Amino acid sequence: MNDTVHHTVHHTVHDRRVVAAAIASLPGIGPQRLRTLLSTLGVHDAWRTLRGDLAPHEHIAAMLAHDHLGRSLRRQATDELLARTAAALADHAMRVILRDDPEYPASLRGDFAAPAVLFAVGDMSVFAKRRVGVIGTRAASAAGRHFARRMSRELARSGVSVVSGLARGIDAAAHRGALDDEDESVAPPIAVVASGLDIVYPREHAALWAAVARRGVIVSESPPGCAPDAFRFPLRNRILAAVSELLVVVESRASGGSMITVDEAAKRGITVMAVPGSPHNESSAGTNALIADGATTVCHADDVLIALGLDHRRLSASSDARARPSPADRAVLDALARAPATLEQLVAVLDLPVPEVALRLGRLEAQGWAVSNSGWWEALLAS
């Protein structure tokens, strides 16, 4: 692909991919206008129209007249922009995929709000695999992150690609889980992000971002250099929903980005599944509400595999490697499973001396059944 791009720069600036990318990066051209332009005129005619070399089509003319858009676009749609776009694409090994390209994800092509142009880094063939969206809140509990990671790892092992958004919290855990096994047979992850592919957001995910790009694919409809503006996230969520065969919400508050993705999935008739959580846990309020509304519950990766119609029996053999907690420790774990607790609350609930509770918590932590974060203990029950 790199070769193609270099070729473009040196010999013909009229490569349709570069032109399409240039149009996408013009200010004032959003996903909808881009779709209208490219579908009515085609890439080259659209460019010529924007340059003013070609008389605009009538409803394009109406669009361009709005707010003097046409005039400002004429100023900006220059050969220099083409050169700059080509260079940016080449610099980041970024590919441009148009809607009529064979590589364009099939599930997206027929979508009513399909992006006209997709930017991608990585291997687009991953979209041919089975795909499950794993999403959730950024402010996830430790238990939620643990679940997301474990489930994603098992889905990837069963050949299902995990689709997520590279955000903090559940998204990151899902990607990490999908990347946990280095094995060749594991399905690579798919990330759908809001910013341009050269703008890593959040920045602390740079390593994870690179790993997803290396093993799987990252796509975005935002052109290179595009900042992670707030309005791009709901737009990204529609793509995330559209490329998923199934959507699993691990943890979500009653409102938020995950619920927008759920709405987008519902519009497209994509099955939404949710992981139940404690009513005390604010970050499970959204998922519990989804279950109340009829979403299928997910307590194990098998539940997702069954919903996909895949064989799940292979998994059950490798279920849980952790040592069983002793009956005494089990009592502490049961108390933790109800809600996250501090040492003090556990001492009160269990009515045991402080050293005894501390001892049991230490054992549970060593065995991987409990984690402590800033003084709060949480159970890691779900396997």
Q: Is 128 helix (H, G, I), strand (E, B) or coil?
A: helix
β-partners of residue 163 are: 133, 190
Query: Which of 52, 198, 331, 376 is close enough to bind other proteins by CB under 8 A?
Result: 376
Q: Is 348 in the site for other proteins (CB under 8 A)?
A: yes
Query: Which of 123, 180, 245, 282 is close enough to bind other proteins by CB under 8 A?
Result: 282
User: Quick one: 50 or 361, whose CB is closer to other proteins?
Assistant: 361
Query: Which of 85, 258, 284, 288 is close enough to bind other proteins by CB under 8 A?
Result: 284
Q: Is 27 in the site for other proteins (CB under 8 A)?
A: no
Q: Which of 187, 185, 183 is nearest to 174 (CA)?
A: 187
User: Quick one: 295 or 336, whose CB is closer to other proteins?
Assistant: 336
Instruction: Provide the pairing of β-strand 95-98 with 190-192.
Output: unpaired
Question: Contact letters (x/-) for other proteins, 240-279, by CB under 8 A?
Answer: --------------------------------------x-
Distance CA 287, CA 58 (A): 47
Distance CA 167, CA 261 (A): 13
User: Quick one: 219 or 361, whose CB is closer to other proteins?
Assistant: 361
CB of residue 203 vs other proteins: minimum separation in angstroms? 12
CB of residue 7 vs other proteins: minimum separation in angstroms? 43
Query: Which of 361, 370, 379, 380 is close enough to bind other proteins by CB under 8 A?
Result: 361
The CA-atom distances, in angstroms, between 67 and each of 62, 64, 192 are 10, 8, 32
Which amino acid belongs to residue 110?
A: G
Query: Which of 69, 87, 331, 358 is close enough to bind other proteins by CB under 8 A?
Result: 358
Distance CA 24, CA 56 (A): 18
CB of residue 190 vs other proteins: minimum separation in angstroms? 24
Part in contact with other proteins (CB under 8 A); list of ranges 10-18, 50-58, 122-130, 374-382: 374-382
The CA-atom distances, in angstroms, between 263 and each of 57, 87, 141, 221, 289 are 35, 37, 23, 20, 13
Q: Is 366 in the site for other proteins (CB under 8 A)?
A: yes
Do residues 364 and 355 make contact, with C-beta atoms less than 8 angstroms apart?
Answer: no
**DSSP-derived secondary structure letter, 326:** P
Q: Is 283 in the site for other proteins (CB under 8 A)?
A: yes
Query: Which of 69, 87, 90, 347 is close enough to bind other proteins by CB under 8 A?
Result: 347
Query: Which of 40, 72, 345, 383 is close enough to bind other proteins by CB under 8 A?
Result: 345
Query: Which of 4, 255, 326, 342 is close enough to bind other proteins by CB under 8 A?
Result: 342
Distance CA 104, CA 102 (A): 5
Q: Which residue has tokens 């957001």?
A: 201
CB of residue 193 vs other proteins: minimum separation in angstroms? 17
Q: Is 321 in the site for other proteins (CB under 8 A)?
A: no
Q: Is 337 in the site for other proteins (CB under 8 A)?
A: no
CB atoms under 10 Å from CB of 53, counted, come to: 11
CB atoms under 10 Å from CB of 204, counted, come to: 11
DSSP symbols for 42-58: -HHHHHHHHHTSSPPPH
Do residues 92 and 197 make contact, with C-beta atoms less than 8 angstroms apart?
Answer: yes
Question: Contact letters (x/-) for other proteins, 120-139, by CB under 8 A?
Answer: ------------------xx
Distance CA 77, CA 19 (A): 10
Part in contact with other proteins (CB under 8 A); list of ranges 1-9, 84-92, 309-317, 368-376: 368-376
CB atoms under 10 Å from CB of 331, counted, come to: 17
Site residues for other proteins per CB under 8 A: 138-139, 141-142, 168, 278, 280-284, 340, 342-345, 347-348, 354-359, 361-362, 366, 372-376, 378
